A and B are shown apart, each in its own frame.
Chain A
Amino acid sequence: MSLLELSSVSAFYGPAQALFDVNLDVEEGEVVAVMGRNGMGKSTTIKVICRLLKNTSGTVAFAGQDLDRVPAYQAARSGIGLVPEGRRCFPNLTVRENLIAAARPGMWDLPAVFRLFPRLGERLDQRASSLSGGEQQMLAIGRALMTNPRLLILDEATEGLAPVVRQEIWAAISLLKAETGMAILVVDKSLKELGGVADRAVILEKGSSVWAGAFADITPEIATLYLGV
């Protein structure tokens, strides 16, 4: 049984259908990339998984539990940790407060987060809004880890960051995969960096999952056809 399983999921924004029969699954300890061009439904799929948007048909199951009627906070409590697009820390809280507010018991606590991102430890009492974009991203990942998730979802985690900071974030994701065996669902456009961490990929096109398979099986033709690269 998969840790996360989306079967024929459809979702709407008001009258506009955004997802059409999306299928996706993530196994324990696996890193799955969700790819696609802009506006193809990647972030909408993440919202449905996190129950921030309800699916109108199909099923979303996590760790054997049907999430269809579950509110967002319960989905998070069941073990889904989200690093949302655009980072979205709590701007008026300090680094420490952002992390403590989300904390739940488990292996991830403040020292563990600071081992992964030492820079956060140096800015403990600084407001999140005064951090650089990269530091805010580290904080967003740290905050999601503080919930001690079984599945970490990273939505465009490196978008808009300087190359050197992107490298730091990717290094942290690799470390998470290697040392914790945590299941990770990562939405990103960078084929090169995803290639270093992802085991499998799902490609979305116009709100539908059109390709799924081992990441290594993404051929240049598939990349050109669906990803425009």
Chain B
Amino acid sequence: MRRETWVGIILVLGLLAVPLWALAVDEPYTITLATRVVILALAGVGLNVALGLGGLVSLGHAVFFGLGGYAMGILASHAQSYTPLAEWPILIEGSKSMPVIWLVACAVSGLVALAIGALSLRTSGVYFIMITLAFGQMFYFFSISWPAYGGEDGLSIYVRNEFPGLNTLDPIQFFGVCYVILCLALLLVSKLSRSSFGLALVAARQNAERVQAVGIEPYRLRLVAFVISGVITGLAGALFADLNRFVSPSMFTWQTSGEIMIFVILGGVGRVMGPVAGAIMFILLEHFLGGLSEYWHIYLGALLLGVVLFARGGLIGVLAGREVAHD
């Protein structure tokens, strides 16, 4: 087995071991912290499809994270207040069911990713970054100006949504749900990166003209990747909102997009386990350095500089070396 696979297994098992240990010593806060790592890692896994495989530097992924969050918030708030979401042309009720909320979050994020991708992928480089950033800002200001769902104050959900057969209010059970979803997403992205689709995507990142000469249309390829990326990030947003039982316009900010990108870079761009490693590092830094200083981002910035200058493969690259051919 390759070294990177071993590193991945250790990370995934370590991520499972920490909350189990916390359960044993009755530390529910640590379980919540681990759940946060898992959810942010999932958002990073989503971005990694676009950024790592497709080379698409999106500064607008907070759109999908926020949409996932608001899909949860809106459906749950209507279910909470027993008011329908719409009465005409068909009656649409709110929902407290996590699977239903996830489906809606994925569908909405996917559709919006399709629309944003269809427009922004006609550009490249700095223009692509700017267009995705502009979409992010549009959604941010729209959410602020939408008083029906809390406007600037956001939207609180008082009870965590339900998953059949589980008590999701129990931190370890909710962690379990998020952990399984992360593992499935990692499996999907791992398969994807080795498929002819993933390889063509990497090839298109290296040279778009060359892939056209072998019959591959880079635009469509990137669009599909962008939609998959948006769907995964949207699902992470729904889980994040459920974890906090709160959604606010801050989920749409460019800082959120930047943070997701930062831990993808910290972990290793294009490495399947990169976002997991990055999210662990990010949360640990936030937790420990944040306790020492309000300005812990200074250290994060220094670390990011170090990774970009001296360890392009991120933490996974440092631990596993340059084993992946298309890192």
Interface residues of A (CB under 8 A from B): 50, 52, 71-74, 76-77, 81-82, 84, 88, 90-94, 97-98, 100-104, 125, 127, 143-144, 146-147
Q: 15 more A-B contacts (CB under 8 A) besides A74-B215, A84-B210, A101-B214?
A: A52-B212, A73-B217, A73-B218, A76-B213, A82-B214, A88-B207, A90-B326, A92-B202, A92-B327, A93-B199, A93-B203, A97-B199, A97-B325, A100-B199, A101-B203
A187–B115 Cα distance when bound, in Å, is 43
Residue of B whose beta carbon sits closest to that of A89: B210
CB distance from A2 to the nearest CB of B (A): 21
- In the complex, which residues of chain B have a beta carbon less than 8 angstroms from the beta carbon of A93? 199, 202-203, 206, 325-326
CB distance from B144 to the nearest CB of A (A): 42
CB distance from A223 to the nearest CB of B (A): 31
A125–B2 Cα distance when bound, in Å, is 12
Inter-subunit contact B213/A82 (CB<8 Å): yes
**Majority secondary structure, B binding face:** helix
- A76, A82, A88, A101: the one within 8 Å of B200 (CB): A101
Inter-subunit contact B213/A72 (CB<8 Å): yes
CB distance from A155 to the nearest CB of B (A): 10
- In the complex, which residues of chain B have a beta carbon less than 8 angstroms from the beta carbon of A81? 214
- In the complex, which residues of chain B have a beta carbon less than 8 angstroms from the beta carbon of A98? 203
Question: How many pairs of residues, A versus B, come closer than 8 Å at their CB atoms?
Answer: 77
- In the complex, which residues of chain A have a beta carbon less than 8 angstroms from the beta carbon of B212? 52, 71-73, 76
Inter-subunit contact B214/A76 (CB<8 Å): yes
Inter-subunit contact A88/B215 (CB<8 Å): no
A97–B214 Cα distance when bound, in Å, is 14
CB distance from B220 to the nearest CB of A (A): 9
Interface residues of B (CB under 8 A from A): 196, 199-200, 202-203, 206-207, 209-218, 325-327
A82–B211 Cα distance when bound, in Å, is 11
- Known A-B contacts A102-B214, A143-B214; the reply to A92 vs B196 at CB < 8 A is no
- In the complex, which residues of chain B have a beta carbon less than 8 angstroms from the beta carbon of A104? 215
Inter-subunit contact A94/B325 (CB<8 Å): yes
Inter-subunit contact A101/B196 (CB<8 Å): yes
A76–B212 Cα distance when bound, in Å, is 7
- In the complex, which residues of chain B have a beta carbon less than 8 angstroms from the beta carbon of A91? 206
A121–B25 Cα distance when bound, in Å, is 54
- In the complex, which residues of chain A have a beta carbon less than 8 angstroms from the beta carbon of B216? 73, 76, 101-102
A33–B211 Cα distance when bound, in Å, is 25
Residue of A whose beta carbon sits closest to that of B197: A101
- In the complex, which residues of chain A have a beta carbon less than 8 angstroms from the beta carbon of B213? 50, 52, 72, 76, 82, 84
A88–B215 Cα distance when bound, in Å, is 15
Most buried by A among B207, B215, B218: B215
A147–B203 Cα distance when bound, in Å, is 15
- The 5 sampled A-B contact pairs (Cβ below 8 Å) are A52-B209, A71-B212, A98-B203, A103-B196, A144-B214
Inter-subunit contact B199/A147 (CB<8 Å): no
